[in-house]
Structures are given as structure tokens and as C-alpha cells.
């Protein structure tokens, strides 16, 4: 990792800390009167999700820009010039470190061993990109999934403010979450894996070494299995909402949508 990427990681970490502790409380108090009425532990998670949304939008749109305009990375997905991708990954690494600190400091209310393992694994995988400059296209492609995160966080905001689950905005956000999740996590699978398989047996693939190969392939398989399971649950919930199911089924539908609340507050 060179000085530029290290500076971005540190700057990202500090910036997200300030956004969580200073900017989010001031902004949230102004735009949402209900924020002040929430208990303190809800304030912490609210601010955390505000940061999560900001991170997701920055990284997600940066990913799209790289996919559309970075011809070098697209031409050689394994060893192409990773300059822009490394900046994007550095932002994400700073966010992951910030979130680990936040979880550690608020373990009684927000602590989750799954997220700690997820973050550490992600930092390990992204470390290959920052230190060796490998797999820039694939690292960038995976980060597109962050574009579904704002809808997940928005659903939590509605829930925290006690919006009825039948409220039009809640339903529309839930359906939008399902659509965007499908587009950025499921629909992209064939294209992604076609690119992966195209590298097998090539000199570029062999240069990676076994460690990078295993970390890359195994993590992607596990992630896509989880994405498929989550998509199934979201689809069931969205279908029941659209069909206007009442009673216990309606409650189950909302719970199915709610399952995404904690799964995707963090980066992949």
C-alpha cells in the first residue's frame, strides 16, 4: 500500500467518525424532529446508518464510473491499472475500520460477531487489492452491491420513527429495496462469473498465486449464496405486501423485509 492509499484509508476513517458523531446528529435533528425523541442507543444506530448510506452512495457511484470509463481495468480485470479502484477500496477499508471501532464501543447494543468476522474477512480480501494491486475489476464489481444499502437503512429509519408498515412510503421503499437488491446483487451474477471463468487457466490467473485465488473464489461463492437466500426472503415479503395479505401473513411479510435491515447495513 503506497502513501496515497494509506492517506485515503486514514482520511476515510476520520471522516466517517466525524460524520457519525458530529454531522449526523446536527443534520438529523434539523430534518427529522422524531430523531430527538429516540433513546440514546437508537441515536447511535441512526447515526451509524446515516454514515452507512453516505458510504454506500460514494462507493457505489464510484464503482459505476470505473466500470463505464476505466478502460484499462476493464481490459485486464486481473492485473489492470488499479489506481481508481484502490482509491475506492481504500475508502471502504476506512469505513470498515470505523465500523469495527463503533461496534466495539457499543457492543452491548450493536455488537454482532457476524459483522466482525465479515469486516475482518473483507479487510483481508481488499488488502490484496491495496498491497498487490490485483483483481481490480472484480473488487470494484463486488462493491456495486452497496447501492442497495440506502434502501435498507431507509426502512430502518421508517421503523425507528414508528411509521406504520402499511404506510405508502414504507411499502414503496420496501419494493424499491427488492428491485435494487435484485439488480445489483442477483442480476449481475451471470456477467460477473462469466468474467471470472474467462480468467481461469490464463497466465494472469496463475500469477495471482494460490492464496489470492482461494480468497477470491471462495469469498465470492459464499457471498452469492447469501445474496440468493436474502433475495428469496425479500421476494416473499414483497409478494405478500403486493397481494395485500392480512393478519399473521402480513406480519410475516414485514418480517421478511426486515431481515435485510441488519444484513446489508455493512459493506460486502
Q: Give tens-digit pLDDT for 190-219.
A: 999 999 999 998 998 999 888 888 888 888
Identify whether 268 is part of a domain: no
Identify whether 140 is part of a domain: yes
Q: Which helix (H) or strand (E) segment is 265 a member of?
A: none
pLDDT higher than 90, residue 160: yes
pLDDT higher than 90, residue 260: no
Residue 218 corresponds to which cell in the numbers above?
A: 471462495
Measured CA angle at 193 (ends 189, 195), to 5 deg? 125
Identify whether 97 is part of a domain: yes
Cβ-based burial of 56 (10 A; exposed 0-12, middle 13-18, buried ≥19): buried
Per-residue pLDDT tens digits for 127-141: 888 988 899 999 998
Structural domain tally of the chain? 1
| Residues 67-72, mean pLDDT to the nearest whole number | 88
Whether residue 10 contacts residue 40, with contact meaning beta carbons closer than 8 Å, is answered with no
Distance in angstroms (rounded) separating the CA atoms of residues 233 and 195: 28
DSSP letter, residue 186:
I
Identify whether 167 is part of a domain: yes
pLDDT higher than 80, residue 266: no
- The confidence score (pLDDT) of residue 254 equals 53
The residues, any chain, with a CB within 8 Å of residue 222's CB and separated by 6 or more, are none
Per-residue pLDDT tens digits for 172-183: 998 899 999 999
| Residues 21-49, mean pLDDT to the nearest whole number | 93
- The confidence score (pLDDT) of residue 114 equals 74
264 band by pLDDT with thresholds 50, 70 and 90: very low
- The confidence score (pLDDT) of residue 93 equals 95
Per-residue exposure over 100-120, b if at least 16 CB sit within 10 Å of its own CB, e if not: bebbeeeeeebeeeebeebbe
Identify whether 46 is part of a domain: yes
This prediction's pTM: 0.84
pLDDT higher than 70, residue 252: no
Share of the chain above pLDDT 90, in %: 47
Pick left, alpha or beta for residue 201 (phi over 0 → left; psi -120 to 50 → alpha; otherwise beta). left
- Full domain range(s) for residue 207: 3-263
Identify whether 68 is part of a domain: yes
pLDDT higher than 50, residue 237: yes
| Residues 255-259, mean pLDDT to the nearest whole number | 54
Cα dihedral sign for 176, 180, 185, 187? positive
Whether residue 217 contacts residue 196, with contact meaning beta carbons closer than 8 Å, is answered with yes
- The confidence score (pLDDT) of residue 257 equals 55
Share of the chain above pLDDT 70, in %: 90
- The confidence score (pLDDT) of residue 256 equals 53
Q: Which of 60, 32, 56 is nearest to 46 (CA)?
A: 32
165 band by pLDDT with thresholds 50, 70 and 90: confident
Identify whether 125 is part of a domain: yes
Identify whether 211 is part of a domain: yes
- The confidence score (pLDDT) of residue 133 equals 87
Per-residue pLDDT tens digits for 83-109: 899 999 999 999 999 999 999 998 888
Q: Which of 146, 183, 173, 145 is nearest to 258 (CA)?
A: 173
Q: Which helix (H) or strand (E) segment is 165 a member of?
A: none
Residue 83 corresponds to which cell in the numbers above?
A: 489506481
pLDDT higher than 70, residue 234: yes
Rounded to the nearest integer, the mean pLDDT of the chain is 86
Distance in angstroms (rounded) separating the CA atoms of residues 142 and 260: 18
Amino acid at each position: 500500500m503506497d502513501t496515497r492509499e494509506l492517506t485515503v484509508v486514514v482520511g476515510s476513517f476520520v471522516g466517517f467518525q466525524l460524520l457519525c458523531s458530529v454531522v449526523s446528529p446536527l443534520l438529523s435533528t434539523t430534518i427529522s424532529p422524531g430523531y430527538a425523541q429516540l433513546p440514546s442507543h437508537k441515536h447511535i444506530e441512526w447515526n451509524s446508518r446515516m454514515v452507512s448510506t453516505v458510504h454506500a452512495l460514494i462507493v457505489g457511484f464510484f464503482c459505476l464510473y470505473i466500470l463505464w470509463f476505466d478502460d484499462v481495468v476493464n481490459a485486464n480485470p486481473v492485473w489492470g491499472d488499479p489506481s481508481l479502484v484502490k482509491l475506492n477500496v481504500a475508502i471502504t477499508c476506512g469505513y470498515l475500520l470505523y465500523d469495527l471501532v463503533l461496534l466495539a464501543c457499543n457492543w452491548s447494543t450493536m455488537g454482532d460477531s457476524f459483522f466482525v468476522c465479515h469486516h475482518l474477512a473483507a479487510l483481508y480480501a481488499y488488502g490484496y487489492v491495496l498491497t498487490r494491486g490485483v483483481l481490480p475489476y472484480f473488487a470494484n464489481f463486488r462493491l456495486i452491491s452497496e447501492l442497495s444499502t440506502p434502501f435498507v437503512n431507509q426502512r430502518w429509519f421508517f421503523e425507528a420513527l414508528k411509521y406504520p408498515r402499511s404506510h405508502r412510503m414504507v411499502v414503496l421503499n420496501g419494493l424499491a429495496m427488492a428491485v435494487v437488491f435484485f439488480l445489483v446483487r442477483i442480476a449481475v451474477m451471470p456477467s460477473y462469473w462469466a468474467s471470472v471463468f474467462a480468467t481461469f487457466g490464463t497466465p494472469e490467473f496463475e500469477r495471482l498465486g494460490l492464496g489470492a485465488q482461494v480468497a477470491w473464489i471462495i469469498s465470492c461463492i459464499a457471498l452469492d449464496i447469501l445474496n440468493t437466500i436474502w433475495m428469496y426472503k425479500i421476494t416473499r415479503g414483497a409478494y405478500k405486501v403486493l397481494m395485500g395479505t392480512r393478519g399473521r401473513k402480513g406480519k410475516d411479510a414485514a418480517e421478511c423485509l426486515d431481515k435485510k435491515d441488519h444484513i446489508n447495513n455493512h459493506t460486502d
